[in-house]
Amino acid sequence: MAAKAALHYHSYSRPSFLKWRLQDAVHVATHHWMPCLFAVGLLFFMAVEYTLRMVPPSSPPFDLGFIATRSLHHLLQDSPNLNTVLAFLNTVFVGMQMIYIMGAWLIEGRPRATISALFMFTCRGILGYSTQLPLPQGFLGSGVDFPVGNVSFFLFFSGHVAGSVIASLDMRRMKRHELAWLFDVLNLLQAGRLLGTRGHYTIDLAVGVGAGILFDSLAGKYEEFSQSKLLSLNGDHINGVANHTKRNLIP
């Protein structure tokens, strides 16, 4: 027992980094390049963050997506009919998302995508109400936008993008890769339109992607928990019936 305790103490007596060798660093750089890339990104954005001037309260928010879609914004501003057509097509795409997500539950009996969408939209409502971002300058609304037309809506985060991600992930689980790629491409076009019309900030779209992935994962965990709980209840019920039958058989 004393020898085991001494060995345990010795294994933790030296910090891990003192055991690193040159070949370990080479192995990390060659086989784990993604964390290394993120480490470089951390250092880069630390330098950017501490040298960048803050946007003053009197100025509109700085958005790189708005800069990238400036030409599209001017085009839609000068062509209201084109803006309406693109809004209608975007509404059709949102309808496709809803039909697929609901159909996965009502027709195929797979509720995960529907549960994920319920989680996502509830969280979006809470966050959107908690921090109500100002409407971007130059917003180009349309009466055929879904689901709100020209009335108020939450900016953070994009339910359009998150819903598309949820549907795409479900398609990949079901090996519908072509349909999933189609939804991904349409989602990119949707994101470009939302930026071009100033209907969302870039952060709304980025968080929408993350939210779709997150709530799909949470819905999966909820399904696993529900199934394990059901199996446990069924097992307890079977054991109870067996014990009751055994007692009745014994005189």
Active site residue ranges: 160, 200, 204
Helix 80-106 and helix 112-130, axial crossing angle in degrees, nearest 10 = 130
Cα(156)–Cα(152) distance, integer angstroms: 13
Q: Cis omega before residue 111 (within 30°)?
A: no
- Token pair for residue 93? 């795409």
Query: How far is it, in rounded angstroms, from Cα 94 to Cα 161?
Result: 9
Token pair 């790189």 is found at: 64
Show Cβ contacts of residue 120 under 8 Å, excluding neighbours closer than 6 positions.
159, 162, 163, 166, 211, 212, 215
- Which of 79, 36, 94 is closest to 196 using CA atoms? 79
Report the distance separating Cα 90 and Cα 186, nearest Å: 9
Distance CA 117, CA 113 (A): 6
Q: How many degrees, rounded to 5, is the angle at CA 77 between CA 72 and CA 83?
A: 75
